[in-house]
Amino acid sequence: MRVIPRGRRAVFALFIAYLLAVAAITLGPAPAPDETLGIVRATVTWLNAHGVGVSYDGVEFAANVVMFVPFGVFVRGLLPTRPALLVIAIGAVTSLGIECAQLLLPTRVSDPRDIVANTLGTWLGVGIRAGAARWHTARQRPDRDDIPTLSSPG
């Protein structure tokens, strides 16, 4: 039996909590309450009145992207030796599963654009994880100027 390192167990536990939150948001009995949607619509209207061209659909798309960024970060962290494209594909299939489940729920609306947005979010999460790993590795390496050479004194 393989022992999972303590740090990876913590990441896995956080990932499960994240997945439960995504399930509650996407598969819950009803979409966001009218008060929340009203705030979003009022904000979009205000932004448009002040020269920022956004739409409700654009905000919804962006929210779907943001919702799946952690998915990419978590799955890439849990599967660091697997190809990044596999992690992105797992995000796409997970999103497809959510959209298929929503077809069966009378109070939910399935939208193929959500699969695109969620997959984009997964891709961004994978990129963020890769950037963070590179940054961490670079901080761990000694500065090249500090490495003594045979020709340097002392």
Mean pLDDT by 10 residues, the chain (154 residues): 75 95 90 71 88 89 96 95 96 98 92 97 97 84 59 55
Please indicate, yes or no, if residue 16 is contained in any of the structural domains. no
pLDDT, position 107: 87
Distance CA 118, CA 75 (A): 14
pLDDT, position 6: 76
Please indicate, yes or no, if residue 44 is contained in any of the structural domains. no
Q: Number of folded domains in the chain? A: 1
Please indicate, yes or no, if residue 85 is contained in any of the structural domains. yes
Please indicate, yes or no, if residue 76 is contained in any of the structural domains. yes
Tokens 């990044």 sit at which residue?
84
pLDDT, position 149: 57
Residue 65 is which amino acid?
V
Query: Contact 43/70 with Cβ under 8 angstroms?
Result: no
Please indicate, yes or no, if residue 67 is contained in any of the structural domains. yes
pLDDT, position 30: 72
Distance CA 91, CA 74 (A): 11
Distance CA 150, CA 8 (A): 41
Please indicate, yes or no, if residue 2 is contained in any of the structural domains. no
Tokens 């891709």 sit at which residue?
123
* Helices (H), ranges, the chain: 6-27, 34-49, 56-78, 84-103, 112-140
Please indicate, yes or no, if residue 61 is contained in any of the structural domains. yes
Please indicate, yes or no, if residue 154 is contained in any of the structural domains. no
The parent domain of residue 108 ranges over: 56-139
pLDDT, position 119: 98
pLDDT, position 125: 98
Secondary-structure percent of the chain, ordered helix, strand, coil, rounded to 5: 75, 0, 25
